């Protein structure tokens, strides 16, 4: 008799669900992919329903539901924080506390209600439809937030023993934690506590530079290479004290996130010479320098914390999770500098990953079940979301009147055709197999193209993403060729796009005289358009790239496509960006993909075995495409 | 008062109109007893009766009143929420004293790593029961030695009555973490 555990993260941001059967991850997905609402914080109804369907079970078959944090512990932190800043903070308090007593504290009851069809929809109408078949009679267990992160990092990792480092904004009280995992047991030894948090520090600068907290941090990271760390000293001398062990103390007079409705205080603004940048306004050199500075500080903290984790545990492997673990520049630096031989980062390192972590924690740590690490890891390439039957996809396209070429039973033919199209500079929407779990598109819901094309970056940004971007796209590289193109070890395994590495000198291009003035242009997209390497679409201005290695075992058809492309062109690298437009969650279903394909200037779309040519699609097939393009919020 | 969904469905409008009728009927009977039958009472009775019948037959009429009622309820919720929250924030929280040491607001120098203190709740653990939040608060105030939480309990329970607008997550600012 199998034991089924459903992990849930919800009620903050990026809600998600994961199903574990006897310790094996059967399915995991973020709710935003189903609800089409980016960073959806609501109960993950769609994701839960999918997980149970994927597991072939009903609610009555679930033994436990594991929730990824402990609400009362968080309330404790909130109350202590507010009472320490009285009389400040009333605006924040009057918004926060009703939200808690209005339901967040009753997370367990709310979850139970959802299973029993007693939940409420957005408008307050009672929902009569229970999730899944049968009645859920199991137990609902709350797992500590950082324990969930730690479990999400250690249990799926390929290591029997590893140091554990979680770096986050905040969970209950902890903002970071350090410890070790041995076999099936995790032992977190130490934590840093709120409000001293590397995630908060980074988010404060995200806010100050005009990006959205909780989602714009990756933009700040992408902006950093344009700047000089001119403010690094100011940050270290005023805002944050970094101890040799990587722990930090932050001067709260510069921040207002404890009591206010903003991240930074007037004192912070005076220190850095002005008010926060208005979102979507022009990015100036100041923002670039601020980004470079906080990135340098963040890297320094991560490196020191890594050293400390190594000293504390004496282990040669490291696993990481928490939002800061998505900082792939810092991860790459830690990997290159050591002291760890190998590092594994949970691909859904943010709160969404808490769903997997909470469930695995319950299975291994609390129920005491043993674990046998998989040398490749147990995350299955993070391809844990839904896939779609080709018959259903064809039926959907037929019903819409779409025109497509059917390659069922002829994979080599499909790959030859697509590789040829890519070599011609066409942009391809690639929808294949199971959807990714985590924030990155890893070759299942991706837009792909030729990384050698100097126009690819601009085309993808302006005609498909509808944005002026200062960030290059990420490269997918054949795993066995990664060391030929990038400055990485021959054994590098980076299937989750979580490490940045420099491109090798022989691939780099020195800018010519015509390009030199462009490299100082205030418009960053002009700077980015100056080719820095023979792979301009994926090379940042500092010659770095966010690598995803692709191998046959994990990636199957996607690997074979890249191999075909390499045989045709000699190039082992392609461009990979998420299959969506600006502000939209990554596409989830074939219909989402087809709509996005029609609404943009993508040239071709592959839905598993079906190939669609934009030029052959009847005009006016889907109404409301303009509205679809415009309704997406700013990201 | 606050649990009425908006925008309403037809069944909600019918229910609302029925409650309104059942509330107005005794009031009218009382007025009739107080002032006695006369032309004015007969006329107003006929108007009320006509309005009640019309309301059941023609949805726009209860819809208008429903909307007025809901707007008033929302305003009342906002004022009530602010009033109770102010009571907690400015009177009760200060009485519990500051927790600056817990937050380490002054630089303690040295390492900021502290012993990991979370005790993950296991299956069947002591905190596994699905209690209402106020029951948790009562129990945990004892086990954690936070007796002052009991002071907060009555106003928090009142506050929970004013959460209709707090459920709308648009009212929750995106730029802060501490809410969660």
Residue B127: which pLDDT band, with cuts at 50, 70 and 90? very low
Q: Is the pLDDT assigned to residue B36 strictly greater than 70? A: yes
Report the first-to-last Cα separation within chain A, whole angstroms.
45
Residues in chain A closer than 8 A to B5 (CB atoms): 123-125
Query: Nearest C-alpha of chain B: how many angstroms from A130?
Result: 19
Which residues in chain A have Cβ-Cβ distances shorter than 8 Å to B89?
82, 86-87, 89-90, 93-94
Mean pLDDT check: name the lowest of A106-110, A389-393, A412-416, A504-508. Answer: A106-110
Instruction: Give the number of other Cβ atoms within 10 Å of residue A399's Cβ.
Output: 8
Instruction: Report which DSSP code applies to B64.
Output: H
User: Which residues, 6+ apart, have CB-to-CB distance to A516 below 8 Å?
Assistant: none
Which of A87, A173, A257 shows the shortest C-beta gap to B176? A257
Chain A residue numbers touching B97 (CB-CB < 8 A):
83
Nearest-by-Cβ selection for A124 from B5, B107, B114: B5
Average pLDDT value for residue range A19-38: 94
Q: How far apart are the CA of A404 and the nearest CA of chain B, in angstroms?
A: 42
Segment A214-236 mean pLDDT: 91
pLDDT in tens, A455-498: 888 888 877 777 767 888 899 999 999 999 999 988 889 999 99
Q: Is A272 left (phi over 0), alpha (psi -120 to 50) or beta?
A: alpha
How many Cβ pairs within 8 Å bridge chains A and B?
233
Q: Are the beta carbons of A98 and B149 separated by less than 8 Å?
A: no
- pLDDT tens digit string along A579-608? 998 888 999 999 999 999 998 889 999 999
Question: Is the minimum CB–CB distance between A247 and chain B shorter than 8 Å?
Answer: yes
Judged by CB atoms closer than 8 Å, whether chains meet at B118 and A174 is answered as yes
Q: Which two tokens stand for residue A19?
A: 């199903």
In angstroms, rounded to a whole number, what is the distance separating the alpha carbons of residues A553 and A338? 28
Closest approach of chain B CAs to the CA of A143, in angstroms? 5
Smallest CA–CA separation between A195 and chain B, in Å? 6
- Give the per-residue pLDDT at A482: 94
Does A124 sit within 8 Å of B118, measured CB to CB? Answer: no
CA distance A236 to chain B (A): 14
Of A70, A90, A124, the CB nearest to B86: A90
**What pTM does this model have?**
0.88
A4 pairs with which residues across the strands?
Answer: A21
Interface touch B123/A141, C-beta < 8 Å: yes
Cβ separation of A261 and B111 shorter than 8 Å? no
Residue B4 has a pLDDT of: 57
Q: How far is A62 from chain B (nearest CA, A)?
A: 14
> Using the beta-carbon criterion (under 8 Å), do B5 and A125 form an inter-chain contact?
yes
Residue in chain A nearest B154 by alpha carbon: A101
Structure tokens at A153: 């990092």
pLDDT at A208 over 50: yes
* pLDDT, averaged across chain A: 90
Closest residue of chain A to B126, computed from CA coordinates: A141
| Secondary structure of residue B36 in the 3-state scheme | coil
User: CA nearest B92: which of B9, B137, B155?
Assistant: B155
Is the model's pLDDT at B177 over the cut of 70?
A: no
Can you give the pLDDT at residue B126? 41
pLDDT value of position A215:
81
Q: Does residue A415 surpass a pLDDT of 70?
A: yes
- Report yes or no: A115 and A132 within 8 Å, Cβ to Cβ: yes
Q: Which two tokens stand for residue B127?
A: 């905190």
Q: What is the pLDDT of residue A632?
A: 63
- Whether the per-residue pLDDT at A68 is higher than 90: the answer is yes
Q: Does B82 touch chain A (CB under 8 A)?
A: yes
Note whether A99 contacts B: Cβ–Cβ < 8 A: yes
Out of B5, B128, B163, the one facing A102 most closely (by C-beta) is B163
A142 CB within 8 Å of a chain B CB: yes
| A143 contact residues in B (CB cutoff 8 A) | 120-121
**Does A365 sit within 8 Å of B173, measured CB to CB?**
no
* A89 backbone dihedrals φ, ψ, rounded to 5°: 95, 10
Phi, then psi, of A500 in degrees rounded to 5: -105, 140
A72 to B178: CB separation less than 8 angstroms, yes or no: no
CB atoms within 10 A of CB B161: 17
B114–A94 C-beta distance less than 8 A = no
Q: What is the mean pLDDT of residues A230-247?
A: 95
Q: Give the model's pLDDT for residue B168.
A: 45
The pLDDT assigned to B169 comes to 47
Chain center to CA of A238: 31
Query: Taking 80 as the threshold, does the pLDDT of residue A122 lie above it?
Result: no
Distance CA A236, CA A255 (A): 14
The nearest alpha carbon in chain A to B172 belongs to A95
Query: Are A177 and B174 in contact (CB < 8 Å)?
Result: no
pLDDT at position A129:
62
* Per-residue pLDDT at A271: 95
Q: Could you tell me if A81 lies within 8 Å of chain B, comparing CB atoms?
A: yes
CA A259, A351, A597: angle at the middle one, nearest 5? 115
Q: Does residue B120 have a pLDDT over 60?
A: no
Check CB contact under 8 Å for B167 and A11. no
| Element of type H or E holding A6 | strand A4-9
Q: Is the pLDDT score of A128 beyond 60?
A: no
Model confidence at A97, pLDDT cuts 50, 70, 90, reads: confident
Average pLDDT over residues A263-281: 91
Rounded to the nearest angstrom, the minimum Cα separation between B95 and chain A is 9
The predicted structure's pLDDT at residue A135: 82
**Closest Cα in chain A, distance from residue B2 (Å):** 10
SS3 A18: strand
Strand pairing class (A544-550; A474-478): parallel
B177 part of contact set with chain A, CB < 8 Å: yes
Contacting A residues, span 173-212, partner chain B, CB-CB under 8 Å: 173-174, 177-179, 188-196, 200, 203, 207, 212
* Interchain pair B104, A249: CB under 8 A: yes
Residues on chain B touching A142 (C-beta within 8 angstroms): 121, 127
* Cβ of residue B118 closer than 8 Å to a chain A Cβ: yes
**Is the pLDDT confidence value at A571 over 90?**
yes
pLDDT at B165 over 50: no
Is residue B158 predicted with pLDDT exceeding 70? yes
pLDDT tens profile B81-111: 899 999 999 999 998 888 878 888 888 889 9
Q: Which residues of A touch B140 (CB under 8 A)?
A: 72
Read off the pLDDT band of B77 (50, 70, 90). Answer: confident
| Contact by Cβ (8 Å): A546, A539 | no
Least confident segment among A100-114, A167-181, A326-340? A100-114
Rounded CA separation A225/A151 (Å) = 33
pLDDT reported for residue B1: 41
| CB nearest B99 (choices: A83, A147, A174) | A83
What percentage of chain A exceeds 90 in pLDDT?
67
As given in the structure block, the two tokens for residue A37 are 């609402």
Q: Please check whether residue A600 is in contact with residue A380, taking contact to mean a CB–CB distance below 8 angstroms.
A: no
B 132-151 residues with CB < 8 A to A: 132-133, 136-137, 140, 144, 146, 149
């Amino acid at each position: 008799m199998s034991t089924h555990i459903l992990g849930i993260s919800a009620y903050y941001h990026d809600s998600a669900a994961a199903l574990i059967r006897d310790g094996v991850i059967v399915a995991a997905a973020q709710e935003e992919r189903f609800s089409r609402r980016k960073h959806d914080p609501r109960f993950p109804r769609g994701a839960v329903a999918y997980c149970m369907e994927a597991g072939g079970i009903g609610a009555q078959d679930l033994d436990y539901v594991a929730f990824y944090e402990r609400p009362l512990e968080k309330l404790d932190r909130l109350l202590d924080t507010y009472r320490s800043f009285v009389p400040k903070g009333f605006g924040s308090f009057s918004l926060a506390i009703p939200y808690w007593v209005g339901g967040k504290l009753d997370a367990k009851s709310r979850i139970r209600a959802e299973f029993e069809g007693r939940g409420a929809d957005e408008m307050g109408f009672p929902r009569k439809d229970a999730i899944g078949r049968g009645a859920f009679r199991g137990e609902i267990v709350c797992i500590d937030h950082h324990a969930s992160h730690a479990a999400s990092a250690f249990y799926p990792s390929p290591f029997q023993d590893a140091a554990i480092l979680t770096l986050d904004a905040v969970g209950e009280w902890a903002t970071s934690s350090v410890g070790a995992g041995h076999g099936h047991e995790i032992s977190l030894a130490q934590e840093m506590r709120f409000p001293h948090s590397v995630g908060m520090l980074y988010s404060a600068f995200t806010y100050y530079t005009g990006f959205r907290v909780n989602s714009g941090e990756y933009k700040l990271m992408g902006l950093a290479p344009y700047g000089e760390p001119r403010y690094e000293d100011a940050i270290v001398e005023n805002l944050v004290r970094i101890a040799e062990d990587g722990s930090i103390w932050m001067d709260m007079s510069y921040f207002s996130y404890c009591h206010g409705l903003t991240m930074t205080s007037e004192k912070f603004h005076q220190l850095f010479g002005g008010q926060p940048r208005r979102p979507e306004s022009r990015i100036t050199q100041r923002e670039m320098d601020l980004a470079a500075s906080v990135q340098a500080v963040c890297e320094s903290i991560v490196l020191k914390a890594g050293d400390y984790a190594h000293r504390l545990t004496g282990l040669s492997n490291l696993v990481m999770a928490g939002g800061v673990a998505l900082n792939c520049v810092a991860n790459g630096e830690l990997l290159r500098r050591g002291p760890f031989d190998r590092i594994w980062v949970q691909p859904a390192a943010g709160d969404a990953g808490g769903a997997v972590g909470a469930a695995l924690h319950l299975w291994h740590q609390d129920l005491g079940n043993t674990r046998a690490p998989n040398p490749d890891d147990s995350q299955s390439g993070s391809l844990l979301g839904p896939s779609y039957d080709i018959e259903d996809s064809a039926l959907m396209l037929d019903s819409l009147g779409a025109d497509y070429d059917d390659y069922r039973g002829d994979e080599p033919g499909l790959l030859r055709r697509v590789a040829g199209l890519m070599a011609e500079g066409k942009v391809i929407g690639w929808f294949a197999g199971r959807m990714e779990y985590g924030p990155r598109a890893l070759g299942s819901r991706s837009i792909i193209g030729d990384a050698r094309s100097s126009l690819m970056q601009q085309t993808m940004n302006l005609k498909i993403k509808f944005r002026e971007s200062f960030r290059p796209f990420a490269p997918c590289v054949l795993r066995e060729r990664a060391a030929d193109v990038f400055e990485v070890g021959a054994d590098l395994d980076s299937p989750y796009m979580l490490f940045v590495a420099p491109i090798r000198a022989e691939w780099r291009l020195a800018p010519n005289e015509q390009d030199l003035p462009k490299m100082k242009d205030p418009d960053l997209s002009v700077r980015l358009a100056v080719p820095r390497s023979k792979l301009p679409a994926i090379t940042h201005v500092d010659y770095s790239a966010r690598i995803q290695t692709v191998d046959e075992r994990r990636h199957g058809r996607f690997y074979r496509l890249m191999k075909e492309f390499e045989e045709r062109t000699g190039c082992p690298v392609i461009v990979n960006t998420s299959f969506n437009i600006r502000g939209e969650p990554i596409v989830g279903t074939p219909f989402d993909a087809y709509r996005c394909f029609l609404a943009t200037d993508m040239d071709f779309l592959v839905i598993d075995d079906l190939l669609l040519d934009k030029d052959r699609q009847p005009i006016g097939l889907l109404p409301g495409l303009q509205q679809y393009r415009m309704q997406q919020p700013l990201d | 008062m606050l649990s009425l969904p908006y925008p309403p469905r037809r069944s909600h409008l019918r229910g609302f109109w029925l409650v309104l009728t059942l509330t107005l009927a005794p009031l009218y009977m009382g007025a009739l007893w107080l002032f006695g039958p006369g032309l004015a009472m007969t006329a107003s009775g006929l108007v009320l009766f006509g309005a009640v019948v019309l309301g059941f037959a023609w949805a726009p009429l209860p819809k208008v009143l429903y909307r007025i009622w809901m707007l008033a309820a929302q305003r009342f919720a906002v004022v009530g929420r602010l009033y109770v929250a102010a009571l907690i924030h400015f009177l009760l929280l200060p009485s519990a004293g500051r927790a600056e040491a817990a937050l380490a607001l002054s630089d303690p120098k040295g390492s900021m790593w502290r012993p990991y203190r979370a005790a993950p709740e296991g299956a069947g653990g002591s905190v596994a029961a699905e209690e209402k939040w106020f029951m948790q608060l009562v129990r945990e105030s004892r086990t954690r030695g936070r007796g002052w939480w009991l002071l907060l309990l009555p106003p928090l329970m009142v506050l929970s009555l004013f959460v209709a607008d707090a459920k709308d997550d648009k009212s929750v600012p995106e730029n802060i973490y501490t809410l969660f």
